[in-house]
């Protein structure tokens, strides 16, 4: 009987599923839409339908089903509480998975990049999350409920803050910012009297995902060019991540310098941005002990795959990462 390992990185807007068959060396990758039940009208029931379609399409390509999966590991957005974890685990069992591990997608940074299998992971993708695993296998997640828990990070936060600042610049005497010209150019308008109409079209229109990505990129570009408003948005976000990291350190046990892995598109596509440097500055000022930061240089789904496999030597980890990157993760 062939062995198959399955890793899933399920985010708000994108899902990566990785398959590995050690006997043949097969590594394959599937990319689908979002798999966070929290943004689905049908909740857990809709999540089941979405995942079934993904599994059937991807695994069917290889002539197998979930019944052939030896072990799976899933890091998924929307796993923020024990109740959510229990309900999503029910969905996965209903889809035929039997031996699997399930946590918030934030944990994948630790699984993909930490030296000893424990540390702290910060996600800045569509949303915000910070999770820690310590040497005693204790876990703690901070955040997960948006503004209610101070999740001032991720693309959603950055985009909202940028748009709000431009609106303030146009109508509330906020100081000038490069973001204003950038955003108005993106919306193809020249007069502030057209701003609300254009904003409504782009924020709730068919191109809203592309629009959000473009606005997020604007913020990083403007910050790189020294724009005060953009720098403030990213610095505020960095502080929120730093406070969460300190909260995990205060509540878990790290005898060795904690490894802090940064994952998600905003970190990984901008590894030298102020989002990263301001986080390190905050930690330097508020945590007087050694620590290590790593911006993950591999797809996050790698963390799920090596978690499913178990004990993975460093060379094998690099090999799997390279194959996933070459496929297009």
Distance CA 143, CA 149 (A): 5
pLDDT at 312: 87
Q: Domain residues of the chain, as ranges? A: 5-103+298-327, 110-296
What is the CATH topology of the domain spanning 5-103+298-327?
Answer: Nucleotidyltransferase; domain 5 (3.30.420)
5-103+298-327 and 110-296 share one CATH topology? yes
Query: Structure pTM?
Result: 0.85
Instruction: Please tell me the CATH code under which domain 110-296 is placed.
Output: 3.30.420.40
String of DSSP letters for 2-46:
---EEEEEE-SS-EEEEEEETTTTEEEEEEES---GGG-TTHHHH
Angle (nearest 5°) at CA 238 between 161 and 171:
20
pLDDT at 1: 72
For residues 34-50, one letter each, b for 16 or more C-beta atoms within 10 angstroms of the residue's C-beta and e for the rest, the string is bbbbbebeeeeeebbeb
* Strand pairing class (71-76; 100-103): parallel
Residue with tokens 């350190």: 249
Q: What count of other Cβ atoms lies within 10 Å of the Cβ of residue 89?
A: 16
Looking at 78-133, list the stretches that DSSP marks H as alpha helix, in order from N- to C-terminal side.
82-94, 108-113
pLDDT at 329: 55
- Starting at the earlier edge strand, list the strands of the sheet with 5-10: 26-32, 15-21, 5-10, 71-76, 100-103
Looking at the chain, list the stretches that DSSP marks H as alpha helix, in order from N- to C-terminal side.
43-61, 82-94, 108-113, 154-171, 178-186, 195-204, 208-224, 228-251, 265-268, 274-286, 301-309, 314-327
pLDDT at 125: 86
Cα 227 versus chain centre, distance: 26
Reading the chain (329 residues) residue by residue, the pLDDT tens digits are 799 999 999 988 899 999 999 999 999 999 999 999 999 999 999 999 999 999 999 999 999 999 999 999 999 999 988 999 999 999 999 999 999 999 998 899 999 999 888 999 999 988 898 999 999 989 999 877 778 888 899 999 999 999 999 999 999 999 999 999 999 999 999 999 999 999 999 988 878 889 999 999 999 999 999 999 999 999 999 999 999 999 999 999 999 999 999 998 999 999 999 999 999 999 999 998 999 999 998 889 999 999 999 988 889 989 999 999 999 75
């Amino acid at each position: 009987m062939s062995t198959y390992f399955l890793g899933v990185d399920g985010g708000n807007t994108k899902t990566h599923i990785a398959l590995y068959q050690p006997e043949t060396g097969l590594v394959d990758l599937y990319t689908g839409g979002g798999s966070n039940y929290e943004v689905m009208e049908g909740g857990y029931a809709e999540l089941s339908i979405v995942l079934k379609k993904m599994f059937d399409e991807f695994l069917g390509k290889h002539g197998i089903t979930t019944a052939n999966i030896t072990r799976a590991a899933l890091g998924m957005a929307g796993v923020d509480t024990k109740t959510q974890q229990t309900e999503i685990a029910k969905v996965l069992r209903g889809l035929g998975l039997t031996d699997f591990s399930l946590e918030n997608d934030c944990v994948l940074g630790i699984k993909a990049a930490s030296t000893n299998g424990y540390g702290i992971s910060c996600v800045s993708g569509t949303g915000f999350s910070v999770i820690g695993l310590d040497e005693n296998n204790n876990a703690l997640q901070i955040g997960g409920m948006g503004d209610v828990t101070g999740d001032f990070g991720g693309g959603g936060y950055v985009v909202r803050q940028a748009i709000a600042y431009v609106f303030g610049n146009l109508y509330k005497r906020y100081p000038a910012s490069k973001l204003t010209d950038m955003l108005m150019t993106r919306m193809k308008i020249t007069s502030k009297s057209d701003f609300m109409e254009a904003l409504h079209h782009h924020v709730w229109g068919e191109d809203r995902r592309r629009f959000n990505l473009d606005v997020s990129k604007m913020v990083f570009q403007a910050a790189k060019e020294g724009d005060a408003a953009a720098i403030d948005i990213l610095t505020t976000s960095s502080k929120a991540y730093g406070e969460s990291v300190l909260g995990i350190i205060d509540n878990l046990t790290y005898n060795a310098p904690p490894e802090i892995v940064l994952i998600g598109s905003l970190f990984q596509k901008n590894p030298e941005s102020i989002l990263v440097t301001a986080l390190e500055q905050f930690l330097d000022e508020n945590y007087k002990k050694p620590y290590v930061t790593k911006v993950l240089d591999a797809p996050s789904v790698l963390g799920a795959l090596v978690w499913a496999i178990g004990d993975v030597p460093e060379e094998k980890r690099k090999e799997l990462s390279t194959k996933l990157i070459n496929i297009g993760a």
